[in-house]
Structure 1
Amino acid sequence: MLRRSMLVLTLGFTALVAGGCKSSHPAVKELSVPEAVAAHKAGAVFVDANTPEFRQGNGKVPGALLLDNYRQYDVASVLPPSKDTSLVFYCSNKR
């Protein structure tokens, strides 16, 4: 189950910034839960930037790609190869 308070969602082919899930980049948009659900139904790929411990206690979006480290990861091996793919990154911001 998704909780509105634990989601920070962004849409677009972008990486998470070093400061966490929040971004001031103009191409990054914070989504409401209904917008995220609509994006998921439209085929967006969800990327979970939470820690394994957080996921174990709180779950994840079914089918989400899992980042081991939100600050540093190999984009080419983790994210879909097509730059036309809509991505939704999410994390709890509780680190």
Structure 2
Amino acid sequence: MRIDDKLNLNLNKLKETEDRKKADKSDSSKESAKSGDSVSLSSSATDVSNVKDAIKSSPDIRVELVSELKVKIENGQYNVSGREVAEKIVQTAIDDLF
């Protein structure tokens, strides 16, 4: 037997194997399509998604409050005691822990 004949024989076997694999894949994809798998989200997941969207669309800065405070500061009307600032800092730290 010549080398060329062996090469052709091996190529034919390889092609047959590939054809079988393709046929198996198409059969399995047809079966999975027939099974009717479906995905559904619970109402909780939908609610969480809606809340996330609402948070993303809301501004990070409360523009009205900032502009009001700016005016008070510029006019010298905004006075806060050091004690109030310290209490807010401590309260924020406690809230962040829990």
* Structure richer in strand, relative to its length: 1
With normalisation by structure 2, the TM-score equals: 0.19
With normalisation by structure 1, the TM-score equals: 0.20
* Structure richer in helix, relative to its length: 2
Report the structure number with the largest CA radius of gyration: 2
